[in-house]
Amino acid sequence: MSDAQSTIKETVTNNDVVLFMKGTKEMPQCGFSSRVAGVLNYMAVDFSDVNVLSDETLRQGIKDYSDWPTVPQLYVKGEFVGGCDIITEMTLSGELDTLFSENGVSFDKDAADKIREANG
């Protein structure tokens, strides 16, 4: 296993919620990363962010790790959940709420409901 793969595995194993993204949760550097980080921040989810732009081996490594070609990538309790489109759909359908609840991840249910109301 490469160093990047080991680092990724350790990161997703040791953090309940991890977003591999372009930029940081405070300063996303692409629209898709911004959307997912924005949803998580708005819902008050405590998550770790990994800036793939800071390390080319990590940027390619996360794509290889998940067998998913794009970034951002969200992991919950070590499991790959999806990218921007999937997270958006899950947020609007309520599936993300369920996933967080089932995994003991705290989030602001009222904020999640407001996202759905605004996009309904």
Domain map of the chain by residue range?
A: 3-118
pLDDT confidence of residue 87: 98
Q: What is the mean pLDDT of each run of 10 residues along the chain (120 residues)?
A: 89 98 97 98 98 94 96 98 97 98 98 94
Q: Which CATH architecture has domain 3-118?
A: 3-Layer(aba) Sandwich (3.40)
Reading the block at residue 105, the tokens are 């991840």
Residue 17 contacts residue 28 (beta carbons within 8 Å): no
pTM: 0.96
What gap in Å lies between CA 97 and CA 91, rounded to an integer? 7
pLDDT confidence of residue 2: 79
pLDDT confidence of residue 33: 98
pLDDT confidence of residue 120: 80
pLDDT confidence of residue 1: 59
Amino acid identity, residue 60? Q
Is there a cis peptide before residue 72, judged by omega within 30 degrees of 0? yes
> Residue 60's Cα: distance from chain center in Å?
17
